[in-house]
A and B are shown apart, each in its own frame.
Chain A
């Protein structure tokens, strides 16, 4: 049943015609920069994110991360208050660095700025230097400043900036390591694990930027928690300068790769996210080219199994209209995959705007021979309004899409961040051939649950074009 009661008050309303609104954002689809940076920090070994600002930002981000992953997650804050805002946040930052160094003693502290400290104009690098100067001779953690003012960009840029800052800070030319750097973006632990599996199959050793696969899907061990024991290590960050190439599987996260190319001559490859057949093919091929390895039978068999499930599932999925919202690179790759499944990509919605997205989109449109409605730099309210006049059978997106799906009485297939209303956000898989198989299984079953009867047959139309009874008596 629709949640939208008929508007009995007249005039244009939330579910009336679409206003061209420009100033207000209603239910945003993008988060702020420090969040993306914190997500990147989650994949580091022995590291602590510290948000320089009022404590609300850190607590809110922590809360979102915790309810998504259902894991304990620590994000420190410099807890600025009224007075410190007037005089600058230096004392607070110094104190926080001291506390974290002494109490948790991580190898790396990543200091993210916020809108507040950016507006005040705090010089975080200078403060870090000061901290080092007064603590000369002590064994201090490496401290990396990650500038993340949120009034520019979104969490996607935040992730990008964190990786760039880490690489800039740590990368050192040593001897070639014959590895490949892979910049990932905020992917679920299961998706990250699948990237690692592919690398194992290809016999390539990767440096993942960053690897949250163990940290955010941790077992219940009754052990002390302390800092994350897994993930990308400081040594690996240093070693990124010595790899054969860097692949950015989210194109919008390739600043670090570009830096490595410019400064250390490490080739930068930005590809599409390896979701679905074509994109995964391209990903595997670019690694095999860059690393000069052949593609093993195992991978070809996995690919064959994905084709197999696409065929098996096709009868349920073809011509289903789908609407997808979320982060740019995921949305575009997911659109291609659902197209490969035989669905019709009807509406795409992203909270940001970028030339790269436009370019990818044009390629996709050429391949699909169909033009979806695309909302760039829009919010979920706009998305819902468009669905009002362009009905779809399925929405793909994060938990904030639930009320829209509910309103149109269609299923929401949950991917992305945050997902706080279902269990297992860590284990959502769609990367690579194997992730693709799990994805097709899950999404097809969602469609069957919703549009088919308990025996898996399509709900019979009430008004059949022939008279059943007479039909039965005739046989």
Chain B
């Protein structure tokens, strides 16, 4: 019985094929399908995947959501992807963390729904540009309502690009398209490629130019990797899209090698660039010391910078090695669930076991596809539960069945887990990040150790003696 039907799911047998307890049969998990209505899914919508994950990280573009006020409101200040005001041409963007601080929207009202929102969108683009003449571009996201009423956002953006002499880019991300935020990633990759890549030339190029694709700088992750790569002699020509400037996206075609960090949300654009411009890409992983070292070495070999890469590894690994060993001693044998949004489950499963001694007993993802589940299956031991699009009721049942020592998850699962007395930390955004690279892995270890050993867990019972 490799598939598992939770008690709570007995009325919806469809859930059974989404939950697999790894055995020797290597069964195919149902995934990337519509969520069953009424399940307490953790999934978001295409707008969340597009604007929330990718375009919202760009530091100098206006993000304009074409919708009634809610969709705009809820995508404001949600992700923590800080940015620096330096632009590639050396100028300083006048507002730092502009991408975190400002959100624009068309605030559609009933009349706009009845008569269409195109006119208002046009005016809003002009106004936004007037308010922020220094912004490099305007990214317009359509949503459920504007998708449904059929506003031709593409046409308007095209027209406006000419009118205001600045890239106005349409991202057609109504929340109903696709089954999760994953579709929003895909739409956004395609739009950036179609509309932007190849439209500009970088001020200068070197033979060490790379694009770091699929890294969104959550809590400064990108800056950690960027530091390693720059120190070993590589030049980051473009980021997609953490701390990226609009222009960088337009000259991704000039890279010598593309690195794909988050492979769920950004392999699409790497494929497209390879196909059209013949630029190869490599899937990379910098979570944990081992993966980080492996990948830096691989890049060292690729660019004949072996010594340089070794120097970087030595420098940064050296700083954390001893401390990490101590954490491993303390954490060995602790049982853990990893509930990631996308691929972090398979990024982290082996490192957490090998490098921190943890025992992974369940992994889950909100929106991975079958290739991701193959990796997940390959990277956990038999008996581990693998879940697709899990919901809070299932998580509750799991906790009651086999209480773990720790859950790595998003904010929605975190507080649930706490109520059961189970330590939990956030890995979608982080507690005290960054979590990537050597120092990031140490931060993660620290957060894990301290969460498990918080004094409060021993004070749960009211003891009279």
Please name all residues of chain B whose beta carbon is closer than 8 Å to the beta carbon of A102 when the two chains form the complex: 11
Which residue of the partner chain B has the closest CB to A74? B40
The reply to whether the CB of A81 lies closer than 8 angstroms to some CB of chain B is yes
Task: Flag if A80 contacts B69 (CB, 8 Å).
Answer: no
The reply to whether the CB of A28 lies closer than 8 angstroms to some CB of chain B is yes
Which of these, A34, A72, A96, contacts B416 with CB under 8 Å?
Answer: A72
* Chain A interface residues (CB < 8 Å from chain B): 3-14, 19, 21-28, 30-35, 50, 53-57, 59-64, 66-67, 70-72, 74-82, 84-85, 92-93, 95-100, 102-104, 114-116, 119-120, 149-152, 154, 218, 220-225, 381, 399-400, 403
Please name all residues of chain B whose beta carbon is closer than 8 Å to the beta carbon of A23 when the two chains form the complex: 106, 120, 123-124, 126-127
Please name all residues of chain A whose beta carbon is closer than 8 Å to the beta carbon of B67 when the two chains form the complex: 115
The reply to whether the CB of B149 lies closer than 8 angstroms to some CB of chain A is yes
Given A8-B94, A19-B130, do A99 and B11 touch, yes or no (CB 8 Å)?
Answer: yes
- What's the nearest-Cβ distance from chain A to residue B201, in Å? 22
Task: Flag if B41 contacts A59 (CB, 8 Å).
Answer: yes
The reply to whether the CB of B286 lies closer than 8 angstroms to some CB of chain A is no
Which of these, B36, B76, B120, B131, contacts A14 with CB under 8 Å?
Answer: B131
Please name all residues of chain A whose beta carbon is closer than 8 Å to the beta carbon of B416 when the two chains form the complex: 72, 225
The reply to whether the CB of B42 lies closer than 8 angstroms to some CB of chain A is yes
Given A77-B41, A119-B145, A151-B68, do A9 and B94 touch, yes or no (CB 8 Å)?
Answer: yes
A-B contact pairs, 23 of them (CB 8 A): A5-B94, A8-B92, A10-B133, A12-B130, A13-B133, A24-B105, A24-B107, A24-B125, A25-B104, A32-B71, A50-B38, A56-B45, A57-B70, A59-B45, A63-B412, A72-B415, A76-B40, A97-B38, A102-B11, A116-B175, A116-B176, A119-B113, A151-B68
The reply to whether the CB of B27 lies closer than 8 angstroms to some CB of chain A is no
Please name all residues of chain B whose beta carbon is closer than 8 Å to the beta carbon of A6 when the two chains form the complex: 94
Which residue of the partner chain B has the closest CB to A152? B110
Please name all residues of chain A whose beta carbon is closer than 8 Å to the beta carbon of B71 when the two chains form the complex: 32, 56-57, 60
Known: A77-B41, A104-B393. 20 other contacts (CB 8 A): A3-B97, A8-B91, A13-B132, A19-B127, A21-B127, A21-B130, A24-B124, A25-B105, A26-B102, A26-B128, A32-B71, A33-B70, A54-B144, A54-B176, A56-B44, A66-B412, A95-B38, A152-B109, A222-B460, A381-B131
Task: Flag if A100 contacts B38 (CB, 8 Å).
Answer: yes
How distant is the Cα of A220 from the Cα of B419 in the complex, in angstroms?
5
How distant is the Cα of A92 from the Cα of B39 in the complex, in angstroms?
11
Please name all residues of chain B whose beta carbon is closer than 8 Å to the beta carbon of A54 when the two chains form the complex: 45, 144, 174-176
Closest 10 pairs between A and B when the two form their complex, measured CB to CB: A56-B45, A32-B70, A96-B38, A99-B38, A60-B74, A96-B37, A23-B123, A72-B416, A54-B175, A56-B175
Contact mask B118-160 → A, CB, 8 Å, 1/0?
0010011111101111100000000011001100000000000
CB-contacts of B280-328 with A (<8 A): none
Task: Flag if A120 contacts B104 (CB, 8 Å).
Answer: no
The reply to whether the CB of B411 lies closer than 8 angstroms to some CB of chain A is yes
Please name all residues of chain A whose beta carbon is closer than 8 Å to the beta carbon of B92 when the two chains form the complex: 5, 8
How distant is the Cα of A154 from the Cα of B45 in the complex, in angstroms?
21
Please name all residues of chain A whose beta carbon is closer than 8 Å to the beta carbon of B125 when the two chains form the complex: 24
CB-contacts of B59-78 with A (<8 A): 64, 67-78
Task: Flag if B70 contacts A82 (CB, 8 Å).
Answer: no
- What's the nearest-Cβ distance from chain B to residue A92, in Å? 4
Please name all residues of chain B whose beta carbon is closer than 8 Å to the beta carbon of A64 when the two chains form the complex: 74
How distant is the Cα of A11 from the Cα of B129 in the complex, in angstroms?
11
Given A63-B412, A151-B68, A225-B416, do A79 and B36 touch, yes or no (CB 8 Å)?
Answer: yes
How distant is the Cα of A424 from the Cα of B412 in the complex, in angstroms?
17
Which residue of the partner chain A has the closest CB to B76? A27
Given A72-B416, A120-B148, do A59 and B113 touch, yes or no (CB 8 Å)?
Answer: no
Please name all residues of chain A whose beta carbon is closer than 8 Å to the beta carbon of B45 when the two chains form the complex: 54-57, 59-60
- What's the nearest-Cβ distance from chain B to residue A353, in Å? 12
Please name all residues of chain A whose beta carbon is closer than 8 Å to the beta carbon of B130 when the two chains form the complex: 12, 19, 21
Task: Flag if A220 contacts B421 (CB, 8 Å).
Answer: yes
Please name all residues of chain B whose beta carbon is closer than 8 Å to the beta carbon of A57 when the two chains form the complex: 45, 70-71, 74, 144, 175
Task: Flag if A28 contacts B105 (CB, 8 Å).
Answer: yes
- What's the nearest-Cβ distance from chain B to residue A14, in Å? 6
How distant is the Cα of A79 from the Cα of B74 in the complex, in angstroms?
18
Please name all residues of chain A whose beta carbon is closer than 8 Å to the beta carbon of B11 when the two chains form the complex: 98-99, 102-103
Task: Flag if A5 contacts B95 (CB, 8 Å).
Answer: yes
Given A79-B34, A98-B38, do A5 and B74 touch, yes or no (CB 8 Å)?
Answer: no
Please name all residues of chain B whose beta carbon is closer than 8 Å to the beta carbon of A3 when the two chains form the complex: 95-97, 101
- What's the nearest-Cβ distance from chain B to residue A408, in Å? 14
Please name all residues of chain A whose beta carbon is closer than 8 Å to the beta carbon of B53 when the two chains form the complex: none
Task: Flag if B48 contacts A30 (CB, 8 Å).
Answer: no
Which residue of the partner chain B has the closest CB to A91? B37
- What's the nearest-Cβ distance from chain B to residue A76, in Å? 5
Given A26-B103, A95-B37, A119-B145, do A32 and B43 touch, yes or no (CB 8 Å)?
Answer: no
How distant is the Cα of A78 from the Cα of B40 in the complex, in angstroms?
10
Which of these, B47, B128, B400, contacts A56 with CB under 8 Å?
Answer: B47
How distant is the Cα of A83 from the Cα of B38 in the complex, in angstroms?
17
- What's the nearest-Cβ distance from chain A to residue B5, in Å? 13
Task: Flag if B131 contacts A19 (CB, 8 Å).
Answer: yes
How distant is the Cα of A72 from the Cα of B127 in the complex, in angstroms?
40
Given A99-B38, A154-B69, do A116 and B148 touch, yes or no (CB 8 Å)?
Answer: yes
Task: Flag if B107 contacts A25 (CB, 8 Å).
Answer: yes
Task: Flag if A9 contacts B133 (CB, 8 Å).
Answer: yes
Which residue of the partner chain B has the closest CB to A116? B144
Please name all residues of chain B whose beta carbon is closer than 8 Å to the beta carbon of A120 when the two chains form the complex: 148
How distant is the Cα of A56 from the Cα of B420 in the complex, in angstroms?
27
Which of these, B103, B134, B396, contacts A9 with CB under 8 Å?
Answer: B134
Contact mask B21-58 → A, CB, 8 Å, 1/0?
00000000000001111111111111110000000000
Please name all residues of chain A whose beta carbon is closer than 8 Å to the beta carbon of B144 when the two chains form the complex: 53-54, 56-57, 85, 114-116
The reply to whether the CB of B112 lies closer than 8 angstroms to some CB of chain A is yes
Which residue of the partner chain A has the closest CB to B46? A56
The reply to whether the CB of B451 lies closer than 8 angstroms to some CB of chain A is no
How distant is the Cα of A3 from the Cα of B109 in the complex, in angstroms?
33
Please name all residues of chain B whose beta carbon is closer than 8 Å to the beta carbon of A75 when the two chains form the complex: 40
Which of these, A28, A79, A98, A225, contacts B107 with CB under 8 Å?
Answer: A28
CB-contacts of B423-450 with A (<8 A): none
How distant is the Cα of A26 from the Cα of B175 in the complex, in angstroms?
21
- What's the nearest-Cβ distance from chain A to residue B56, in Å? 13
Most chain A CB within a 10 A radius of its CB, from B39, B102, B178:
B39
Task: Flag if A34 contacts B37 (CB, 8 Å).
Answer: no
- What's the nearest-Cβ distance from chain B to residue A86, in Å? 10
Which of these, B43, B91, B101, B174, contacts A59 with CB under 8 Å?
Answer: B43
Task: Flag if A81 contacts B179 (CB, 8 Å).
Answer: yes
Task: Flag if B415 contacts A81 (CB, 8 Å).
Answer: no
Task: Flag if A70 contacts B177 (CB, 8 Å).
Answer: no
Please name all residues of chain A whose beta carbon is closer than 8 Å to the beta carbon of B95 when the two chains form the complex: 3-5, 14
Which of these, B42, B177, B412, B420, contacts A222 with CB under 8 Å?
Answer: B420
The reply to whether the CB of B164 lies closer than 8 angstroms to some CB of chain A is no
How distant is the Cα of A92 from the Cα of B37 in the complex, in angstroms?
6
Task: Flag if B102 contacts A59 (CB, 8 Å).
Answer: no
Please name all residues of chain A whose beta carbon is closer than 8 Å to the beta carbon of B1 when the two chains form the complex: none
- What's the nearest-Cβ distance from chain A to residue B378, in Å? 30
- What's the nearest-Cβ distance from chain A to residue B104, in Å? 5
Please name all residues of chain B whose beta carbon is closer than 8 Å to the beta carbon of A28 when the two chains form the complex: 69, 72-73, 76, 103, 105, 107
How distant is the Cα of A74 from the Cα of B418 in the complex, in angstroms?
15
The reply to whether the CB of B161 lies closer than 8 angstroms to some CB of chain A is no
Given A14-B132, A151-B68, do A225 and B48 touch, yes or no (CB 8 Å)?
Answer: no
Which residue of the partner chain A has the closest CB to B128? A24
Task: Flag if B176 contacts A32 (CB, 8 Å).
Answer: no
Please name all residues of chain B whose beta carbon is closer than 8 Å to the beta carbon of A7 when the two chains form the complex: 94, 134
